[in-house]
Amino acid sequence: MTVLSVRGLTVRFRMRESAPVRAVTDVSFDLAAGECLALVGESGCGKSVLASALLGLLPGNAETTGSALLAGAGDDPATDLITADEATLARTVRGRRVGLVPQSPAAHLTPVRTVRAHLTETVRRLTGTRGRDALRTATEAAARVSFPAGHLDRHPHELSGGLAQRAATALALVGDAPLLLADEPTTGLDRDLVERTVDELRRHTGSTRALLMITHDLAAAARIADRVAVMYAGRLVEIADAAAFFGTPGPRHPYARGLLDALPERAFRPVPGRPPELAALPEGCAFAARCAHADTACSAQPPLTGGLACHHPHTAPTDLVHPPQAAEAPRA
């Protein structure tokens, strides 16, 4: 069962005094029930814009084209998240059919309400549970992400960044939405909590549920992902099975290999150069200026074919044979 099918998703931001910002360009992928897809890439490559587009949360100067078909659930028909109106998204999609772990949780929490109040109201709204049952379910949701019970009656400004992140994760899990979008869900967490949090997100997947995790944490992706999608300058440049990506033969795109090379467990060598400005992208391969293999062929944009967009992919087995260290995660 396909939970989400994205085709040709493109997002442009109109700017008054400069060229449009090409934040996302022609992105296509499918996400199946029971699957975790990790979307990785440097800051500013368009990952969070893609998530916001799926939820209809882009600012007014955004122009979005393409489609993102969310499978129907119960009495709800399949919905194109890109063309759906705000009323549909607010009433039937957000929280109920698509859960969000936001990148900046403090901005999504009401400052005058405690964490317990946030969770209890979300339980009531999404499940219809009332009274003591709602309070118990709220407490259980907090426990799922290791949020300490002694902090449930604190307000958002009284929480550390890590606690705010765990509160937001608990809120996203309440509705058991078919699609869970987790945008940097491990920000501010120590390694033990990173592993416990992503394991809980992984447990969310099942026969009708899937997880799209946007992350810089490649060790977390290696721990729970089934597939990895690498984004660069607004485009997908590689989609691969996680086992092959983090092990042997490794990534095929030079940029994806560079991301792994930058890890302390690997070569600890950063990708040279800087990403291009999204308002001034080259006509050809956007990575060419940073790539040791670039030549005249790279003046043309390579299409994403067979999960790869590159004129000069790596074909030899990688010499980076040790994946990020992570214990085996439970699988749904």
From the centroid of its chain, how far is CA 7? 17
d(Cα 245, Cα 222) in Å, to the nearest integer? Answer: 9
Clarify whether residues 162 and 197 are in a common domain: no
d(CA 74, CA 83): 21
Number of structural domains found in the chain: 2
- Amino acid at the residue 154: R
- CA 98 to CA 319: how far, in whole Å? 39
Are residue 62 and residue 207 in the same domain, yes or no?
Answer: yes
Domain assignment present for 324: no
Residues 182-207: tens digit of each pLDDT: 999 998 899 999 999 999 999 999 99
**Do residues 238 and 256 make contact, with C-beta atoms less than 8 angstroms apart?**
yes
pLDDT of res. 131: 93
Backbone angles phi, psi at 285, to 5 degrees: -65, 125
- Closest among 146, 163, 145 to 154, alpha carbons compared: 163
pTM: 0.92
User: In this predicted structure, what is the pLDDT of residue 8?
Assistant: 98
Give residue 52's domain range.
Answer: 1-97+177-319
- For residues 125 and 200, state if they share a domain: no
Percent of the chain's residues with pLDDT above 90: 88
State which H helix or E strand residue 227 sits in: strand 227-232
> For residue 53, is it within any domain?
yes
Residue-wise pLDDT for 35-68, tens only, equals 999 999 999 999 999 999 999 999 999 999 999 9
Q: Which of 159, 175, 191 is the last residue of a domain?
A: 175
Are 168 and 210 members of one domain?
no
Q: Give the residue ranges of the chain where pLDDT is below 70.
A: 316-332
pLDDT at 276: 95
**Rounded Cα–Cα distance for residues 173 and 150 (Å):** 20
CA dist 142 and 284 (Å) reads 47
